[in-house]
Amino acid sequence: MLIAVGFMHKCGLTHTDLKPENILLVNDESDIIKIKTEEHDDRSSTRSTSVEKIFYRPKFNKIKLIDMGGATYDDDYHSSIINTR
């Protein structure tokens, strides 16, 4: 993401609406990661349960920034006030 924002700044643009919804992965392939953990029962000091948690990690880290409608050039006026709609 820093590379994308850096490129925009080199072009003299400021993205004024950066948020997770405006960042897309270029490729949706992912690796499945399984991690086994022990969860202890708070009611008993001797009982614990083995739990397998599944996580999905993107295979590729390329992204696209979208929703450039609010982008401004560095020499244009843009308010320093955050607009949360």
pLDDT tens-place string over residues 40-76: 777 766 777 888 999 999 898 888 888 877 777 777 7
Tell me how long the chain is.
85
Model pLDDT for residues 14-39, shown as the tens digit of each residue: 887 888 888 888 888 999 999 998 87
Burial class, 64, CB count within 10 angstroms (exposed 0-12 / middle 13-18 / buried 19+): exposed
Q: Is 74 tagged catalytic?
A: no
DSSP 45: S
In DSSP terms, 63 is beta-bridged to 25
Answer yes or no: are the C-beta atoms of 16 and 78 closer than 8 Å: yes
In what helix (H) or strand (E) does residue 48 lie, and over which residues does it extend?
Answer: strand 48-58
